[in-house]
Amino acid sequence: MNLHKYLNEKKNIIEDALKKIIYSNTDTPKIYESMNYSLFAGGKRLRPIITIMACELFDGNINEVIPFACCLELIHTYSLIHDDLPAMDNDDFRRGKLTNHKIFGDGFAILAGDALLNKSYEILFSLIHNSDNKEYKKAAFKISEASGVLGMIGGQALDLFYENKEIPIDKLIEMHDKKTGALIKASLETGAIIAKADEKDIKLMGDFGHLIGRAFQIMDDVLDEKGTLKKLGKNIGRDSINKKATYVKHFGLEQSEKNAFDLIFEAKKLIRVYGNKSKLLADLAEYIVKRDS
Amino acid sequence: MNLHKYLNEKKNIIEDALKKIIYSNTDTPKIYESMNYSLFAGGKRLRPIITIMACELFDGNINEVIPFACCLELIHTYSLIHDDLPAMDNDDFRRGKLTNHKIFGDGFAILAGDALLNKSYEILFSLIHNSDNKEYKKAAFKISEASGVLGMIGGQALDLFYENKEIPIDKLIEMHDKKTGALIKASLETGAIIAKADEKDIKLMGDFGHLIGRAFQIMDDVLDEKGTLKKLGKNIGRDSINKKATYVKHFGLEQSEKNAFDLIFEAKKLIRVYGNKSKLLADLAEYIVKRDS
């Protein structure tokens, strides 16, 4: 199957599964609308899709992995809502749409983020509660760790701390690895874990995730520098306005792109061991550096 | 043992356990300070203490329940940090100290809240991951549900929605039940669950928690109306400034206090079935309506 078709197919599956998670509840107004607004604001569903990909690579059951994949998307969505707040990146647009707080106000945006994070863990606890599957416990723990202060939140904290400050390049890379890389890594590990892959395969998926996560974040910086409002759907150059140190500012546009391509080359080399079975993952890695939005 | 001595003793145990959770990490500046600042800002540790109480009532192992009790305190602390933000209640003081965002800024306050919530679930997943104890899974699921959009976050959403609006009294009570009651209820249930109490005892603890949670929130409104800055350690009458509908505004001071005492009377009646063993819980219920801060 070609990548484009695969992404579309799996995106639809994820959308359907996500729609069943946050039902509207008229008893508690606005919060559900706020949660749903961002959850269905046109995300690429990259994290849940790579979770499924990793699961399929090890012949796992896709129906079994989908709730975990959805949880990763809920966590990703909450992080975007909070990142966009005036107290953080202060972004008015994301994917061409107004950000959550521009529609619902800062208070509901904070709560919707909290609620999506909490919902993700409610789902994971419920999956664990209703099963004796050891893999479920392991995957849930990995996801929570990657999302926490040693992972994604820690990355966001570094980002905030170095705003308007000179950030050393090693800290910038650490920030990227935590802010973006950790959850992408956890997505791939989760897919492999639920498929009951061997420890060594889970580790390999994690390493692959680490590399493509790094490349993904570099390309985000590159696209932010090169992009247009139309293509990316958010205010371009916002990082420059916020005086944020970016990878591109440090290495320059050309070297940054080269570094991203090198990382993807390394990532693809890692999964060659799975032969033709890993073609989709390799294509996805390629897509990360060749995308224009 | 008298209540005062018990509260002090258990508070020290909780403080010691909490101190081991969030270590400082110089790699990621400010976020750990921000988390610790609020975690050690002088809370009464009511939720973890009642968790221990419920566990002891059913002869559970206190060392086993302490990590769960700590998780409840982490969740409570995050909710206070987010509630105090300018986008929510906009409080400058809590327990006589500057609120988190007044010290660390709104961005770090949001992240510290996120990090505490996430940390709580990391601990729960790790406890579950390292044990085959079914009770752990059950308690963790209860805690997550009580903290979510059907519980605490839902209550905060109602609070925010009805700011500057006339709130019907049934919605006000629903708001209290979710915002404060849900986590207190979950604390008591958690203690009973970890002690391997019967289903009927877990339910009774939940009902007891529901009643004292409701009384607790009414007394908060009463104290807010009556209190002084010195005693409560936060700006008094902030709810009035925010034009918030409060229980006291609806029922008047005298009737509100009476209702709180009636709820505590009901709560104490419920636990009479445990005889003298439940004396501390009964004293605690009493303390909730007789405290002056």
Q: What is the pLDDT of residue B249?
A: 86
Contact A174 B147 (CB under 8 A): no
**Residue B242 — pLDDT band, cuts 50, 70, 90?**
low
What is the number of structural domains in chain B?
A: 1
Euclidean distance between CA atoms A155 and A183, whole angstroms:
11
Q: What is the pLDDT of residue B237?
A: 56
Of the two residues B69 and A220, the one the predictor is more confident about is: B69
Q: What is the pLDDT of residue B22?
A: 77
Euclidean distance between CA atoms B156 and B101, whole angstroms:
18
Q: What is the pLDDT of residue A251?
A: 93
Length of chain A: 293
Of A35, A111, A122, the CB nearest to B160: A111
Contact A144 B138 (CB under 8 A): no
**Residue A234 — pLDDT band, cuts 50, 70, 90?**
low
Residue in B37, B184, B170, B176 with CA at minimum distance from that of residue B100: B37
Q: What is the pLDDT of residue B178?
A: 97
Q: What is the pLDDT of residue B224?
A: 84
* Chain A residues within an 8 Å CB radius of B174: 27
Asked whether the beta carbons of B195 and B55 are under 8 A apart, the reply is: yes
| Percent with pLDDT over 70 in chain B | 92
What does each C-alpha distance from B268 to A98, B127, B275, B281, B292 come to in angstroms? 51, 33, 11, 8, 20
Q: What is the DSSP letter of B23?
A: -
Asked if pLDDT for residue A64 goes beyond 90, the answer is yes
CB pairs under 8 A between A and B: 153
Q: What angle do CA A210, A213, A218 make, to 5 degrees?
A: 130
Nearest-CA distance A187 → chain B (Å): 16
Mean pLDDT rounded to a whole number for chain A: 92
Residue A147, SS3 per DSSP: helix
Nearest-CA distance B149 → chain A (Å): 6
**Residue A271 — pLDDT band, cuts 50, 70, 90?**
very high
* Structure confidence by residue, pLDDT tens digits, B161-184: 998 888 999 999 999 999 999 999
Write the CATH number for B230. 1.10.600.10
What is the arithmetic mean of pLDDT over A73-88?
98
> To 10 degrees, what angle do helices B199-226 and B279-290 make?
20
Euclidean distance between CA atoms B120 and B126, whole angstroms:
10
Of A25, A30, A144, the CB nearest to B125: A144
Asked whether the beta carbons of A50 and A188 are under 8 A apart, the reply is: yes
Euclidean distance between CA atoms B277 and B216, whole angstroms:
23
* Chain A residues within an 8 Å CB radius of B86: 106
Tell me the range of A17-31, A212-226, A248-262, B195-209 where mean pLDDT is highest.
B195-209
Asked whether the beta carbons of B192 and B202 are under 8 A apart, the reply is: yes
Helix or strand (DSSP H, E) at A98: strand A97-98
Q: What is the pLDDT of residue A241?
A: 57
Asked if pLDDT for residue A167 goes beyond 80, the answer is yes
* Structure confidence by residue, pLDDT tens digits, A97-139: 999 999 999 999 999 999 999 999 999 999 999 998 999 999 9
Q: Which domain holds residue A65?
A: 3-290
**Residue A240 — pLDDT band, cuts 50, 70, 90?**
low
What does each C-alpha distance from B11 to A106, A213, B18, B31, B142 come to in angstroms? 35, 43, 10, 25, 23
What is the arithmetic mean of pLDDT over B24-51?
90
User: DSSP string covering B71-130, please?
Assistant: HHHHHHHHHHHHHHSTTTT--SEETTEE-HHHHHHHHHHHHHHHHHHHHHHHHHHHHHHT
* Chain B residues within an 8 Å CB radius of A118: 117, 144, 147-149, 153
What is the arithmetic mean of pLDDT over B25-49?
91
Burial class (CB in 10 A: 0-12, 13-18, 19+), B233: middle
What does each C-alpha distance from A205 to A59, A185, A210, B285 come to in angstroms? 14, 7, 9, 52
Q: What is the pLDDT of residue A226?
A: 83
Of the two residues A239 and A283, the one the predictor is more confident about is: A283
Contacts of B258 (CB under 8 A, 6+ apart): none
Beta strands B97-98 and A97-98 are unpaired
A228: tokens are: 């247009």
Contact A154 B28 (CB under 8 A): yes
**Residue B26 — pLDDT band, cuts 50, 70, 90?**
low
**Residue B88 — pLDDT band, cuts 50, 70, 90?**
very high
Euclidean distance between CA atoms B140 and A192, whole angstroms:
25
Contact A27 B128 (CB under 8 A): no
User: A34, A118, A159: which to substitute to probe chain B, counting the most B Cβ within 10 Å?
Assistant: A118
Asked if pLDDT for residue B239 goes beyond 90, the answer is no
Residue A114 amino acid letter: D
What is the arithmetic mean of pLDDT over B45-49?
97
**Residue A1 — pLDDT band, cuts 50, 70, 90?**
confident
Q: What is the pLDDT of residue B68?
A: 98
Q: What's the ipTM? A: 0.94
Mean pLDDT rounded to a whole number for chain B: 92
Asked if pLDDT for residue A282 goes beyond 70, the answer is yes
Q: What is the pLDDT of residue A235?
A: 59
Helix or strand (DSSP H, E) at A231: helix A229-232
Asked whether the beta carbons of B21 and B119 are under 8 A apart, the reply is: yes
Helix or strand (DSSP H, E) at A14: helix A3-19
Contact A119 B148 (CB under 8 A): yes
* Structure confidence by residue, pLDDT tens digits, B89-132: 999 999 899 999 999 999 999 999 999 999 999 999 999 999 98
Q: What is the pLDDT of residue B291?
A: 81
Of B30, B125, B154, the CB nearest to A161: B30
**Residue for token pair 């004292």:** B212
**Residue A22 — pLDDT band, cuts 50, 70, 90?**
confident
Q: What is the pLDDT of residue B63?
A: 97
Phi, psi of A240 (to 5 degrees): -70, -40
Contact B88 A107 (CB under 8 A): yes
What is the arithmetic mean of pLDDT over B5-17?
96
* Structure confidence by residue, pLDDT tens digits, A243-270: 667 889 889 999 999 999 999 999 999 9
* Chain B residues within an 8 Å CB radius of A32: 149
Contact B161 A30 (CB under 8 A): yes
Asked if pLDDT for residue A21 goes beyond 90, the answer is no
Asked if pLDDT for residue A65 goes beyond 60, the answer is yes
Q: What is the pLDDT of residue A224?
A: 84
Residue in B45, B52, B51, B55 with CA at minimum distance from that of residue B11: B45
Q: What is the pLDDT of residue A225?
A: 83
Asked whether the beta carbons of B111 and A160 are under 8 A apart, the reply is: yes
What is the arithmetic mean of pLDDT over A184-208?
98
What is the arithmetic mean of pLDDT over B34-40?
96
Asked if pLDDT for residue B17 goes beyond 80, the answer is yes
A252: tokens are: 């320059």
Q: Where are the alpha helices (H) located in chain B, listed in sequence order?
A: 3-19, 31-39, 46-57, 62-84, 100-129, 134-147, 152-161, 169-176, 182-194, 199-226, 229-232, 238-241, 247-251, 253-270, 279-290
Asked whether the beta carbons of B190 and B143 are under 8 A apart, the reply is: yes
Residue in A243, A214, A239, A215 with CA at minimum distance from that of residue A226: A239
Asked if pLDDT for residue A292 goes beyond 80, the answer is no
**Residue B47 — pLDDT band, cuts 50, 70, 90?**
very high
Length of chain B: 293
Contact A141 B157 (CB under 8 A): no
What does each C-alpha distance from B236 to A229, A274, B67, B221, B289 come to in angstroms? 47, 65, 34, 10, 18
Asked if pLDDT for residue A229 goes beyond 60, the answer is no
